[in-house]
Structure 1
Amino acid sequence: MRTAYTTNYGQALIGESLDLLKSLDDGSVNLVITSPPFALQRKKEYGNAEQHEYIEWLSEFASIVREKLRDDGSFVLDIGGAYQKGVPARSLYNFRVPIHFCDDLGFFLAQDFYWFNPSKLPSPIEWVNKRKLRVKDSVNNVWWFSKTEWPKADSTKVLVEYSERMKKLLLDPEAFYNPAKRPSGHDISKGFGKDNGGAIPSNLLQFSNSESNGQYLRGCKAVGVKGHPARFPAKLPEFFIRYLTNPGDLIVDIFGGSNTTGQVAEAEGRNWITCDLVEEYVAAGALRFMSEFSEDEAKRIYQEVLDGKAISFRTSDEMPKQTELFA
């Protein structure tokens, strides 16, 4: 395991994530958020375990994650679904993950989230496009696990814009509703007409994953490599980082890929560590942190990371104290 690059708030490592996890102090991490390789039937270039061995493989990481979390810490896991081999019937592996984690590893399922990606391509082609037997699968499970029943969370940090109807109601509440107990049992009080700065979001998160011209992809083009094939959009880690952590907290991504998590954590003023086994993915992820983009600089940074030189990105002379733990 080696350091590929560092920033004001964190560092990206190349190597085995299990080694990273074992090196951390118990009870030191506020949030582990990651998207591991899914248990798909077709092997991907970034590596993925077979469905029958997937739970055991992922549990090796999860059991150590639990030890490293603070008592109020969280573990957020983005997992996509899959089909059984050769037939149009779904695998249940993604549902067995939370059952096993809670029954056998001691986690609590704080809440289940669902990431709807409207730009996701139809898959698998055999059942969706060719035979027309199934519809497009556009939703990933995002399991929010916690070490105790009371993880740190604040939904006021992730409020969403009010609907147009709610905006009209707030302008003149008395014209739209009467405070009273509804047949459903809900007691709608006068406080319902209070402007709280936004609406509480639902557990269905809609974020398109269709970036085509950001700095990361421009950098990949400049150095002649493909972008990571399974990146999640920045809005996904941003939601949970804002929801479940405070500035200065420590965030870890154990399957860091191109380091979307680190980029978001940096912007949000959180300490972070990410790790990935594929050095080309980590080297390309460094291009996210260039203050000014140029092709020549992108090529230099990418090659130096591959050559084993740790790059330092700094915007000020002061480093957060917590990153000293991971030097």
Structure 2
Amino acid sequence: MQQSDLFEPLLAAYRNVQINDEGISNQALYEALDLVGGERKPVGRARQPHNLEHRKVRWHQQTLRKLGLLERVPGQRGNWRLTPKAQKEGDLTPAPQGVALVAFSTDLGVAIWTRTETLAGKLTDRISAIITSPPYPLRQARAYGNPSEEGYVDFICRSLEPLLKNLIVGGCVALNISQDIFLSKSPARSMHLELLTLAMNQKLGLYLHERMVWENRSKPPGPTYWASITRQQLNVGYEPVLIFCNDPVRCVADNRRVLQPHSDRHAKLLAAGGETRTATYGDGAYKLRPGSFGNVTAGKIPKNVVSITHASREVEKTRKQAKELGLPVHGALMPVKLARLLVEFLTPPGGLVLDPFGGWLSTALACEEAGYRWLASEMMAEYVAGGGIRLSGRPGFRASFDLEGWNPGDSSRN
């Protein structure tokens, strides 16, 4: 994997300095990057003196050319310009096949601009848990693209299969996936969730470990047509989280890592030594005896229905910063609070968490908060930069791009 501290500043310099399609000279580029002058050192067998910083710039020009973002100006020696693809403001830049660039890192993790299939070929570390929110099979695709409903199961299985070889024995895969996909012109729901659940077992050899319900009370009303117009559906209030394990008997999930505080009522019950009455419920299935629930425990076990809003001040702050920098805003984020619950529940201490559909790096931020190592990949360069905004204050943060210099829509900055 390639690490570059010039890749994004170089691209930003062309966006900020170039006028129309005329391109800019290398000398103008050096000035924009504040690389005028500098020490010259002997290089190569001939030991000819060269400016090493200028050589790095020219090397990255070739990288950008191969990515389809930069081209020479015909008939002008030393002049380069952005391609139409690179000039489109607000467009997302997908990582080309085979390219894997380290976008930023912290003391705990690394974010990589790459495709999942490219990541799989370079992954060597053992993964304790894969926790991610892959693209939903939406009929109207978002800017980052979405697989079709028909191809969704194959897309997920194809993306995960090469990563599973690195998953530890007893390791888990958690997928936050939408259930709100409907058949064309029908209030009938798609059965992609059921088909995916079966395929994860039959194609990938994974076992269904848990179905969690993420209740989102701030979710906007919908499905609009079927709930508000024809009145045949109820408004949606939750999304499922499917958790799979490669070896259920040796599963490393542990609910003691996510215990919640006892309620005041239960704390008083514990302090009193438990129940003082005798009772029978459910035709004898449940019985209360004096002393029941009297054993002091570290906390209560969470239920598999969690209520977490997707809105947060941290997200709103990040969206504002992204807009100021000319970055596209990600509109479908998994809440960090949900990601953290999954990280701590599914990952043993010292384990490594992988998010192959990183987006704005919610899973990575959850790992940072909980003190877990992480690795995240994201195909769209602009989303990796947005994730960099969120994690820029974390210990050891080092970016391969200049967040302050990222503004493709402002040609006045330099």
TM-score, structure 1 normalization? 0.84
What is the distance in 2 between the residues matched to 1:245 and 1:237? 12
Residue number in structure 2 paired with 1:201? 302
Q: Which secondary structure does the structure 1 equivalent of 2:218 belong to?
A: coil
**1:263 correspondence with 2:365:** yes
Alignment of 1:1-327 (within 5 A): 1-25=100-124, 28-81=126-179, 82-149=181-248, 150-174=250-274, 176-178=276-278, 183-186=283-286, 188=288, 190=291, 192-214=293-315, 215-291=317-393, 300-301=402-403, 303=405
Alignment gaps of 5+ in structure 1: 307-327
What is the distance in 1 between the residues matched to 2:314 and 2:239? 24
Larger displacement relative to structure 2 (113-122 or 161-170): 161-170
Q: CA deviation at 1:267?
A: 2.1
Alignment gaps of 5+ in structure 2: 1-99, 409-414
**Greater RCO between the two (CA within 8 Å, min separation 6)?**
1
Summarize deviations over 1:33-64 as a string: whole Å, max 9, x none.
00111112222222111111111111112222
RMSD: 2.5
Q: Which secondary structure does the structure 2 equivalent of 1:31 belong to?
A: strand
What is the distance in 1 between the residues matched to 2:320 and 2:215? 26
Summarize deviations over 1:251-286 as a string: whole Å, max 9, x none.
110000000111111222211111111111110110
Residue number in structure 2 paired with 1:311? none
Paired residues of 2:252 and 2:348 also in contact (CA < 8 A): no
Q: Which secondary structure does the structure 1 equivalent of 2:293 belong to?
A: helix
Paired residues of 1:286 and 1:302 also in contact (CA < 8 A): no
Paired residues of 1:31 and 1:244 also in contact (CA < 8 A): yes
The one-letter amino acid paired with 2:259 is L
What is the distance in 2 between the residues matched to 1:117 and 1:33? 19
Q: Which secondary structure does the structure 1 equivalent of 2:241 belong to?
A: strand
Q: Which secondary structure does the structure 2 equivalent of 1:238 belong to?
A: helix
Summarize deviations over 1:190-229 as a string: whole Å, max 9, x none.
3522231321111111111112454423422331334311
4+ residue stretches of structure 1 with deviation over 3 A?
173-184, 186-191, 212-215, 302-306
Q: Which secondary structure does the structure 2 equivalent of 1:134 belong to?
A: coil
Paired residues of 1:112 and 1:142 also in contact (CA < 8 A): yes
Summarize deviations over 1:90-114 as a string: whole Å, max 9, x none.
0010121111111232001111111
The one-letter amino acid paired with 1:79 is I
* CA shift in 2, pair 1:2/1:305, >3 Å: farther
Count, aligned residues:
300
What is the distance in 2 between the residues matched to 1:44 and 1:284? 17
What is the distance in 2 between the residues matched to 1:141 and 1:255? 17
Pair member with larger Rg: 2
Percent identity, aligned pairs only, is 26
